[in-house]
Structure 1
């Protein structure tokens, strides 16, 4: 376990652990650049091999993805007792899913789009970088801001 200078006891996850956590989740956020504007979209996803796969419909997200510009995907979660949290980020390039459709059924047999409508575009994020962190949750009282909002607090 490595610690940051503030002694937060943040553990940097190995890539294998990152993929394990991603496989245990199904909700994440996709960050794209739409023209010159960053956009973030919540989505449900599945992991196929070592790629993030999701369905989408025509619109802002798909237009941004079709540019081929790099994207970032993040998912996070916590243990059953809410005492430890994790966060994983996958940075990579979006491409049309080229795998066997049967692998999608194996990877996420119960995955359904959240919104109505046809989500006919299957996209995979081919990872260039995978990183993750895990750390203990601080006591709730530590999350409150200080009462003094003087300039030296900023």
Structure 2
């Protein structure tokens, strides 16, 4: 029996999008120079992309300097867990038609702040895994390696 293969399942692209569409809170990872930052953002899936709103500040500045991002969403319960990572590019929506379309999305700030700027994350790579949760196997009966 291979405990790892029984406990971990690689998700296909469709399953990754299903999981992303079932949630509203993720983590955006930016990278500028030697600095990595992680920002929690509420988002919606829009086609084959993710859209969130933000205010002027470090998140938006960092995306202007380097648009390469990671976006991660996960969830768990007593029996299962999953994690999806989207690698791609983020860009501010500037065209009036893009902003008007984004205004129609079911996306509202979770905190009482005004956020005028929409950002779209377009994944170039989408990966995910699902996990069966349970007790750790007896380590004495497993050979490392």
TM range (shorter): 0.7 to 0.9
Greater CA deviation, 19-28 or 62-71? Answer: 62-71
Q: Matched residue pairs, number?
A: 134
Change (3 A) 1:4 1:12: farther
Give CA-to-partner distance per residue, 1:65-124, whole Å, 9 cap, x none: 11243100000113xx5311111000001112364634653x52xx42123322111000
Does residue 20 of structure 2 align to residue 32 of structure 1? no
Residues of 1 paired with 2:75 and 2:131: CA distance? 11
Residues of 1 paired with 2:123 and 2:68: CA distance? 10
Map 1:1-154 onto structure 2 (within 5 A).
Answer: 6-7=4-5, 9-78=7-76, 82-97=78-93, 99=98, 101-102=100-101, 105=104, 107-108=105-106, 111-139=107-135, 142=136
Residues of 1 paired with 2:15 and 2:2: CA distance? 20
* Preserved contact between residue 9 and residue 136 of structure 1 (Cα < 8 Å): yes
Residues of 2 paired with 1:41 and 1:64: CA distance? 11
Q: For 1:82, what is the secondary structure of its paired residue? A: coil
Residues of 2 paired with 1:22 and 1:30: CA distance? 13
| TM-score normalized with structure 1 length | 0.76
Residue 129 of structure 1 and its aligned partner are, at CA, apart by: 0.3
Which structure 1 residue ranges, 5 or more long, are not aligned?
147-154
* Preserved contact between residue 85 and residue 126 of structure 2 (Cα < 8 Å): yes
